[in-house]
Amino acid sequence: MKVLVVGTGYVGLVTGVCLASFGHDVVCVDQDWQKIARLNMGECPIYEDGLEPLLREQLLANRLSFDTAISDSTDCDIALIAVGTPPRNDGSADLASVFEVVSELGHKLKQGAFIGTKSTVPVGTAHSIETFLESMGRQDIRVVSIPEFLREGSALSDTLQPSRLIFGVPDEESLRVLEELHRPLEVPVVACNRATAEMIKYASNAFLATKISFINEIANICERVGADVQQVSQGMGLDPRIGSSFLRAGLGYGGSCFPKDTRALVNIAGDVAYDFKLLKAVVEVNQRQRTEPIRRLRQWFGDLSHIRVTLLGVAFKPGTNDIRESPALEIGERLRSQGAQVQFYDPVVTRFQLQSQEFVRVLDDPYMALEHADAAIIVTEWPEIVDLDWARVGAVMRRRLVFDGRNVLDPAALEEAGFLIENFGFHPALLLASARDSAVQA
Ligand code: UDX
């Protein structure tokens, strides 16, 4: 099939490269000419394992190309829209770019072509696109919804071996087209109407975010009653009805999807006069969770204006250089506004990515970033951070105090290196004491 992908962000680029690898002829379009120039040279603008080699392979095989505009003579069978849907101030998704693209496609697509939405769009968008196309006299174009569930850091495997495919279609023929587009994939397919497909995307992300906020609330209670949230997660997760994933307590979720999609779904519900109380609480808990280190620092130091804090990790999670909605930036900004000196270390995020944030000093050497610090906060659980030489860290810091915002360090090893460590959802001192007791008894 001939496929046009509009937007070469995470979703668009990975989708385009993978569809080319299925044997389709793919053209990816983006207004950002610098990005397109790099892509045409086989350079991948995002940090994603395995993507660049596959991109180069598809370029060489002439199945994939990049352009800065949709060609007037495009003869694609299906155009996939993967442009941004940024949140407006009220949390609702801004669809301006989506409709700009639809308008252009309405003028350029051949008779009987399909349009598929890949961007996460409010429920009802496929229908609105159809109405818009009808107003342009393009009743012949069919609109389908194909939501995307890829995670950053494992985007390729999520696209090449997805857990499921969701096809939101208006009729049987559209379903056949989507089956043809995804032919090599042998995975469960949920064929449904378009509003259902759009809702599956939001509901999935909202549910995962709910699991995270739930375990973070449990963690906060665990701390107060002397329980260990990690064992609680383990004990809960073994129940197959609950499942073990997304039960890691800590600083909460960030990234380009969960924060945006949870707020958008609260809005979608509000638009139909439904108060989505549970999801509002999920958002609020996440917000509180990410500022928890500030509360703890104040408990330790009172006034923060004389302290130096090092944030370890800037990316919103390991395996990506994406800093969108990263807790590190918010924590850093709040610390700075309270007068603290803040330094960052991240193995892949560069200082250029943070140019707009004047206060930020990102260092590529963790030990330099930690020099003379009064406290360190683990924000992102990169292996490069977990595996630091903590004895060496202890030698460069002014005070040996670590807030393990992802519960990834070995409290015993840190204690041995002379650190005080604060976790989220358990007290290492209690655990160490009980481990010692049982060792003595044994
Ligand atoms: C997510 C969804 O998983 C994906 O299906 C969707 O298409 C896009 O949004 P992504 O944002 O790449 O993917 O990251 P994910 O790995 O899901 O993690 C999201 C956030 O949750 C991260 O900030 C992570 O640190 C946090 N998280 C995850 C927790 O705090 N605890 C957990 O147990 C799991």
Give the pLDDT mean for 52-63: 97
Percent of the chain predicted with pLDDT > 90: 87
Give the pLDDT mean for 342-360: 76
Q: What is the atom index within ligand 1 of the atom nearest the CA of 120? A: 7
Residue 390 buriedness (CB in 10 A; 0-12 / 13-18 / 19+): buried
pLDDT of residue 360: 55
The two tokens of residue 355 are 């140019």
Could you identify the residue written with the tokens 């095989």?
A: 61
pLDDT in tens, 282-295: 999 999 999 999 99
Query: Domain map of the chain by residue range?
Result: 2-161, 201-288, 291-438
Q: Compute the distance between CA of residue 265 and CA of residue 261 in angstroms, rounded to an integer.
A: 6
Q: What is the atom index within ligand 1 of the atom nearest the CA of 149? A: 7
Distance from first CA to last CA of the chain, Å, rounded? 67
pLDDT of residue 392: 96
Q: Active site includes 192? A: no
pLDDT level of residue 355 (50, 70, 90 thresholds): low
Integer CA distances (angstroms), 391 to 9, 90, 406, 416, in order: 41, 47, 20, 9
- Give the contacts of 344 (CB within 8 A, at least 6 positions apart): 310, 311, 312, 314, 328, 332, 354, 360, 361, 362, 363, 369
pLDDT of residue 302: 95
Q: What is the atom index within ligand 1 of the atom nearest the CA of 245? A: 33
pLDDT of residue 299: 94
Question: Looking at the domain 291-438, which fold is it?
Answer: Rossmann fold (3.40.50)
Q: Compute the distance between CA of residue 57 and CA of residue 36 in angstroms, rounded to an integer.
A: 17
Spell out where 338-405 has E strands. Answer: 341-345, 362-363, 375-378, 401-404
Tell me if 2-161 shares its fold with 291-438.
Answer: yes
Q: Give 12 Cα–ligand 1 centroid separation in angstroms.
A: 19
Integer CA distances (angstroms), 41 to 34, 44, 62, 281, in order: 11, 9, 13, 46
Integer CA distances (angstroms), 377 to 328, 340, 369, 421, 431, in order: 9, 13, 12, 10, 21
pLDDT of residue 166: 98
Of 28, 76, 222, 257, the catalytic one is: 257
pLDDT of residue 442: 45
Task: Ligand 1: list residues with CB < 6 Å.
Answer: 148-152, 205, 208, 212, 246-248, 250, 252-255, 257-258, 316-317
Q: Which among 11, 212, 283 is the best mutation to test ligand 1's pocket, defined by most ligand atoms within 8 Å of the CB? A: 212
Percent of the chain predicted with pLDDT > 70: 95
pLDDT of residue 47: 80
Sheet hosting strand 375-378, strand order edge to edge: 362-363, 341-345, 308-312, 375-378, 401-404, 420-422
Q: What is the atom index within ligand 1 of the atom nearest the CA of 209? A: 21
In the three-class reduction of DSSP (H, G, I as helix; E, B as strand; rest coil), residue 341 is classed as strand
Alpha helix (H) residue ranges in 118-163:
125-135, 155-160
> Superfamily for 201-288?
N-(1-d-carboxylethyl)-l-norvaline Dehydrogenase; domain 2 (1.10.1040.10)
Q: Phi, psi at residue 116, to the nearest 5°?
A: -120, 135
Domain 2-161 has CATH 1.10.3720.10: no
Distance of CA 365 to the CA centre of its chain: 25
Q: Give 326 Cα–ligand 1 centroid separation in angstroms.
A: 11
Tell whether the model's pLDDT for residue 437 goes beyond 60. no
Q: Which among 15, 152, 330 is the best mutation to test ligand 1's pocket, defined by most ligand atoms within 8 Å of the CB? A: 152
